[in-house]
Amino acid sequence: MTPAPGSALRTHVDKDTGVAVLTLDRPERHNAIDAGTAEELSATWRRFRFDDSVRAVVVTGAGERAFCTGIDRDADVPQPTSPYAIDDPLIAIGPKANDYWKPVIAAVNGMACGGAFYLLGESEFVVADEHATFFDPHTTYGMVSAYETIHMAQRMPFGEVARMALMGTAERVSARRAYETGLVSEVTPSGGALAAAVRAAETIASYPTEAVQGTVRAVWSAKEAARTQALAHAPHLIALGNLPQDRQAELFTHRRSGDFRTR
């Protein structure tokens, strides 16, 4: 499928296998998500819901440096004046937020941080290149990590989620450590994550679709109530704990590149 002019997404649907590959295509911005990209993601999941030729999806990022680095720092994110509400621009970028229950596999190459966890957290499982790293920069820049930690708490032990969120940019979790803690289901040689994810997706897509989608719903039902309840608290925690945007920007501007430990 040819992307629209200016599109930040590439989609390719293999009609023979039933696998769609959805690629975040902003490598010059580390595949960060701006308002337009967020809208495209939401629209794509909704379109795939009604496309019976799509039976499984692989989501990945273009280039070798990053899967996704969350919200684009240059994106304009206006907020309501009420202290009781926030407008999260990434709230609907994931498949489950768009009532999409066909299986989704994430293929992670390079960095995955911050808002990338909206996509990883709503995928069925994650395959990662051996050079992939995971981290959550929110606290470093005076922001509450709420949605991100809630998504990751469904996949990783409590202490690992807490450490990743609280250490901010000072630490990055290696693909191997992510595998050991359950975030990643398979680690591949560098450059191999996409192919491995597609192979798994092709296998899943070859099975009767009703059974597959029913299994996806069953797996998610085991934790959906707790996840939904936790997400309901997220806007209030963010509204209370985030620094003003100008102060966040100041901290981000004075960040020191390369000053982190990988574990």
State the average pLDDT over residues 201-229.
93
Cα separation of 94 and 38, whole Å?
9
Question: Over 90: is that where the pLDDT of 236 sits?
Answer: no
Q: Give me the CATH number covering residue 105.
A: 3.90.226.10
**The CA-based dihedral angle spanning residues 215, 220, 223, 226, taken in that order and rounded to the nearest 10 degrees:** -150
Nearest in space to 19 (alpha carbons), one of 59, 66, 50, 46: 59
Q: Is residue 83 part of a domain?
A: no
Number of domains in the chain: 1
**Predicted model pTM:** 0.91
Q: Is residue 4 part of a domain?
A: no
Cα separation of 77 and 97, whole Å?
20
54 is in which domain, residue-wise? 9-74+89-192+201-262
Nearest in space to 147 (alpha carbons), one of 172, 169, 122: 122
Q: Is residue 1 part of a domain?
A: no
Give the model confidence (pLDDT) of 28-85 as tens digits: 999 999 999 999 999 999 999 999 999 999 999 999 999 999 998 776 666 677 766 6
Q: Is residue 99 part of a domain?
A: yes
Cα separation of 112 and 115, whole Å?
8
Q: Is residue 163 part of a domain?
A: yes
b/e per residue 223-239 (b: at least 16 CB within 10 A):
eeeebeebeeebbebbb
Cα separation of 125 and 104, whole Å?
7
Q: Is residue 2 part of a domain?
A: no
